[in-house]
Structure 1
Amino acid sequence: MKETAIDYEAVFQALPGMVALLTSELLYADANEDFQRLSGRTRDQLVGRYIFDVFPENPNDPTATGMRDVRASMLRVVATGERDTMALQRYDVEDPMRPGQWEERYWSPINAPVRGPDGKVEFVLHRVEEVTELIRLRGGAGSDSRARVLEAELYTRARELQEVNDRLRQAHAREREVALALQEAMLPARRQVGNHRAAVRYRPAVGSLNVCGDWYDLIDLVGGNRIGVSVGDVVGHGLAAAGVMGQLRSALSASSRVADGPAQALDVLGRYAHVVDGAESATAVTTFIDFDDRTIAYSSAGHPPPVLVHADGRVEFLDKATDTPLDARPDPIPRPQAATTYADGATLALYTDGLIERRREDIDTGLSRLAESLVRHRTADPETLADAVLLELLPPGGATDDTALIIVRL
């Protein structure tokens, strides 16, 4: 059989149902004929414009959440590279022929990623089923009674589902507020490391419950011009993870002040984690920085390695003392410890995996991306450097895991 070239543009335009293609910035790149016809917008009115400028939310409905829900779904697709099938949405549309007149509409959307040559999500394929007629009650002579009963049932169930979603969203929002308040109360401020220049950042994951799984700590150590810097990651999210996070952070802070080194501090923390519900598989890495000797001693319990960027731009991953997560062994054994040296002007970065890990991507790719960003901005002050790293490494819509980052100028 002779192969023939396929005109994919013609195929796209002929697809049944409403289909649009948007960039990762949520600008319309194209829309098929059914999308233009059923939305009442021409291709010229769509292409190149931000989706929610074309379809804003109904200002007359204070309970409307369609725009927020669709935006969150699309940004989630861009961030994760995963298809997202949305629940039934009410999303009113302004009549293009009668400005200020809004039509009650119901949609069933699916958002799917379209990757570019580099593997990153370049476009979002937005497929929409118009289900308004199935939801809207229609009376009148000749209407089939069973069909009307079915429509009424669908309408009732859709309303009930929307009410449940609203209640869940409110409950999640309240839990998020409490968790964030707990996060701010338990995580230390920069002033706790004295005069040393450091910057700390915490970014909760996308989603109302994805917060408080990660933690960081910076403390002044007893004896000499030394500080301890650590980060950790608790499995899970929400208030339960926040409680475990607070216990582990406090325990490591206390053990670091009396331990001979970071390995011994993690030994103590591992034994403590063994009796803390919810600490299973938690990871942590801690460093003891001696500013007089210009040395960094470190030990890791299953955590990604800190990055030391020397003043000349050379990158050193502190990965010579990596061991299992905190509660991995029933009978703990002494953890490994290593040390390295540095010169004035070097930069140390500790972080959690939300900064570097992406689905379907090797972790080495994320580590390389982090190292390149740190080298590129190494002459900036720690605050500016931390902001630059987050801007370059986190997806535009936010990561799907919590992210903690500490930058220390040595």
Structure 2
Amino acid sequence: MFRSIKQWCIGALSTVFVVGAFDGLAQAPDGGALFKAKCSTCHAPHKDGTGPKLFHVRDKWTAGGAKEGSIYQWVANWSAAAAADPYAKQVSNSKPTAMNTFPDLAGKQKEIDAIFDWVDSQPDPNDPANAGAGGASADGSVSATGEVEEDSLSWVWILMGVVFVVIIMAVGGVRRQLRNATKENDGQSVNEELSFSQEFKAWAWKYKRYVGLGGLVITLSLIVSLFLSLYSIGVLEDYQPSQPIEFPHDIHAGKNQIDCKYCHNSVDNGKTAGIPSVNVCMNCHKQIAGNTPEQQEKIAKIYAAAGYDPATMSYSGKTKEIIWNKVHVLPDHVYFNHQQHVVAGQVDCKQCHGDMTKMNETAKVQPVAELNKVEGNVPLTKATLTMGWCIECHAEKEISSGSLDSKGSNYYNEIHNRLLKDRKLYNKFLADKKITVKELGGWECAKCHY
């Protein structure tokens, strides 16, 4: 098989270059990757979720009388499309949650078409014709429920792996032929019947010490890699669900300097920060109806939820629930109390949520790299909302830069008085001129876990 080694090597290398050139020059938009990055949080090809199913959505818009190109504008900025197209306006009222905006897709019809083409290529799991296939596409990217799953290795990497295996085997064949030729020249006997596997076994046995050591290293590396990959399970940095009403924090908390606690009024005395009721919104928006059509449209949803008629300035009593999507979700076995952190610990909201006075986008789980850029934050290294992130903060965050009784709090004065009974321990705490959460028991398991 490997006697024409020159042709094998030339063919293999040519394949690699052709694949590389095709991948580098063609660069056709990957609809599946774009769908997972932009759409899969709320949409599925054949199943309604937070947003409607997207199978043949272009045909649906055309049949509904949408203006040409309206759907592409909708993907980039739904509110602009709703203002320009009656059909888009009708679609915007079909779901209680508002769609996210994707300004990076504005004017990029090719990328949007790639998403829709990929969606339209997915088989319907409810179709009897697809019963045996489990509703999966050719690359296994869709589950039986029509939800998107992680892709396996792309065909390019698989092809390159096969090519490299062929090259390695071809080089091994050359080496074998050269060795046999050398033996023949030296007058030694040559056994042409030995297979590659038999030769490998003989070689491995000859160098068993090195093969065993190499096998141990590879095995340990695989085990370590496996355990390290487990740390990524459940890590949701950058998670950003859509919301029924887009709330610009930079306008409310930044430009208008509304205190966070005005809306999240239970943060000082409760476990959760709380979601403001529509009545809290109406305290201001009863007088503020918005200056632009986009603002007026959003505020109109608040009026609808409150049952308020701005024309007559009266309440009808017919309210409508606003269904907000939760952003920060902790496991059931984890206890977190906002009051304990905000009041006792005096942790600023920006330590965990980022500088909301500068955020126009819908709230999301801020990556730790972004949180570290906020002035005044304790710099951390572990992923946001992970256990490592919490205990690292407890180790770094100081409760007091000095004696605890200087805090002027009865809670800390009591701890201070108790610590005075063990002067050696207290002096140990003050050795670095500060007292951290960890030193006061912040690393005890029962502090955070039931």
Pair in the same fold by TM > 0.5: no
> Which one has a larger percent strand, Structure 1 or Structure 2?
1
TM-score if structure 1 supplies the norm length? 0.23
The TM-score, its normalising length taken from structure 2, stands at 0.21
Larger Rg: 2
- Higher percent of residues as helix: 2
